[in-house]
Amino acid sequence: MKELVFVGLGLHDEKGISLQGIEETKTANQAFIELYTSVLPCFSMQRFEAIVNKLVHIISRHNLEEENGAVILNAAETGKTVFLIPGDPFIATTHVALRIEAEKRGVRTRIVHGASVMSAIIGLSGLHNYKFGKTVTIPFSENSSKTPYEVIAQNKRLGLHTLCLLDINADEKRFLSINEALTLLVNIEQKRKEGVITRDTVAVGVARAGSNAPTLKADFVKDLIRYDFGDPPQSLIFPGDLHFMEAEALVTLAGAPERLKRLAK
């Protein structure tokens, strides 16, 4: 059967995959994995291959972007093929083109969903999911962009929260930290002076969502920018208008200052 199954790996290690994902991988003719779109801090290929009892081929960014995923597509045209992806396979749009091309070739595609960093971060924060606006990625300083600042400003005008994903380069083991991201945004504020991100703006930092020891800290930017969040991956939230229960959650769960409650509506 011509089939390509996209399987989510979850967020932290080789145990984050679902039971269905394990079964799909065990019964595949070939299995491929990419580990460059996100970081799984404690993932072990050796342990994972022991779980699924199968050799898993690592796919690089070059294989997918420059070669258009030819090695995966060719395998899927000869039998059931599994493509393992960090998190939930299509929360990021990185692999949509591969799925479209597979369908055009007459290859059936399916998705086995996994835990997503998007829902994990929001769940940890205690903020209401339906009050989040557009999500944005903050790039490394050499790729500096005004877009994150503008997205945060737009969401704030609407009273909405902003989830900021932070840039990674898995090949070089580089991960933008919350502290660096805040510094970049403060520098933009100093130039634009629109009052979007001041020293007294409230922000929430989340590190290693999905692990057994995540770090969650809410504070004013002037204090959060000095906080040690430890190892990656890290993300940042700028709250919009706070419901009183959201403010309570940030104080109780994320160690925010008590006076934050006075900002709730």
The domain segmentation of the chain, as residue ranges, is 3-112, 117-263
Q: How confident is the model at residue 68 (pLDDT cuts 50, 70, 90)?
A: confident
Handedness of CA 93, 98, 99, 101 (dihedral sign): positive
* DSSP structural state of residue 143: G
Pairing of strands 215-220, 202-207: antiparallel
Per CATH, the number for 117-263 is 3.30.950.10
When pLDDT is averaged across residues 12-28 and rounded to a whole number, the result is 96
Q: How confident is the model at residue 65 (pLDDT cuts 50, 70, 90)?
A: confident
In single-letter form, the type of residue at position 97 comes to A
The gap from C-alpha 88 to its chain's centroid, in whole angstroms, comes to: 9
Contact call for residues 234 and 166 (beta carbons, < 8 A): yes
State the Cα–Cα distance between residues 263 and 242, nearest whole angstrom. 7
Contact call for residues 162 and 134 (beta carbons, < 8 A): yes
Does the domain at 3-112 match CATH 3.40.1010.10? Answer given as yes
> Which residues are paired to 136 by β-bridges?
164
- Per-residue pLDDT of 111-138, as tens digits, reads 999 999 899 999 999 999 999 999 999 9
Contact call for residues 257 and 219 (beta carbons, < 8 A): yes
- Per-residue pLDDT of 141-164, as tens digits, reads 888 889 999 999 999 999 999 999
Contact call for residues 15 and 72 (beta carbons, < 8 A): no
Q: Cβ neighbours of residue 109 under 8 Å, at least 6 residues apart? A: 3, 4, 5, 6, 99, 102, 103
Judged against a pLDDT cut of 80, whether residue 93 lies above it is answered with no
Contact call for residues 136 and 147 (beta carbons, < 8 A): yes
Same fold, 3-112 and 117-263: no
When pLDDT is averaged across residues 216-221 and rounded to a whole number, the result is 97
Pairing of strands 202-207, 234-238: antiparallel
pLDDT for res 143: 85
In single-letter form, the type of residue at position 184 comes to L
pLDDT for res 172: 83
- Per-residue pLDDT of 240-250, as tens digits, reads 999 999 999 99
Q: How confident is the model at residue 36 (pLDDT cuts 50, 70, 90)?
A: confident
Structure tokens at 176: 């933008």
The span from the first CA to the last CA of the chain, in angstroms, equals: 56
Judged against a pLDDT cut of 80, whether residue 94 lies above it is answered with no
State the Cα–Cα distance between residues 19 and 12, nearest whole angstrom. 16
* DSSP structural state of residue 173: T
Q: Cβ neighbours of residue 234 under 8 Å, at least 6 residues apart? A: 166, 175, 176, 177, 178, 205, 206, 207, 208
- Per-residue pLDDT of 167-202, as tens digits, reads 988 778 899 999 999 999 999 999 999 999 999 999
pLDDT for res 67: 86
Cis, peptide link before residue 233, omega less than 30° from 0: yes
